[in-house]
Amino acid sequence: MNDDQLVEAVKKHMLQVPGVEDVFVLTEDDKKIVEKLEEEAKGNVLMGMGEGDNQGIAEVFKREHIMCFTTNKEYVWPEPPNVIMMQGGEMIGFDFNECDIAKYENNPEYIVMGNFVICKTKGGGKSGKPIVVLPPKPCDLGDIEAEDAVLGSPSTPSDEYIREAYNLECSVEKGTFFLGFNDAK
């Protein structure tokens, strides 16, 4: 399978995923702009909780092929944690599935804020600012002969740029994800 066929196969596969509305390959210019926006966003306060470290997008941009896809509220996010708060090299907070709320809401060791939890017993004596990590998430491409498929959630500036560049609807019920993958060896 050549590169064009591989990209088309991945695009077709992603369009079959519930909640995925559109899939497109980033142009070289868009890749450069998004990389610049992500670099500028690195270290900025993310979600009001700490400096951002978007490891997911960094991993996506290490791949040979980079796509973006748009989602609606039917899209099922990868299993948490999708957001991790670190301080002093230790995980002090993370997001969780709503079905897991009982594990945390009545436990005095945790502070629950929506679907995010902070451990009261960790990080208190640690030095340094909290860092909010957006980790890379694996992406199952089924039987497609691609390797190292990974998802990354863009920073707000990258999301806004993509929405504007591709005339995408701006809504809290719609999102963007980046997908990177390599040719199978």
| Per-residue pLDDT at 69 | 97
Residue type, 80: P
Predicted local distance difference test score (pLDDT) of residue 171? 84
Q: What does the block give as tokens for 119?
A: 């451990």
In this structure, the number of other CB atoms found within 10 A of the CB of residue 8 comes to: 13
Q: Which residues of the chain have pLDDT under 50?
A: none
Report the helix count and the strand count for the chain, using DSSP H and E: 5, 12
The residues pairing with 52 across neighbouring beta strands, listed in sequence order, are 132
CA-nearest of 47, 32, 8, 12 to 158 is 32
Q: Smallest Cα–Cα separation from 152: which of 55, 85, 75?
A: 55
User: What are the sequence ranges of the domains in the chain?
Assistant: 3-46+54-76+138-183, 83-133
129 three-class SS: coil
pTM of the model: 0.88
pLDDT attached to residue 130: 85
**Do residues 49 and 85 touch, judged by C-beta distance below 8 A?**
yes
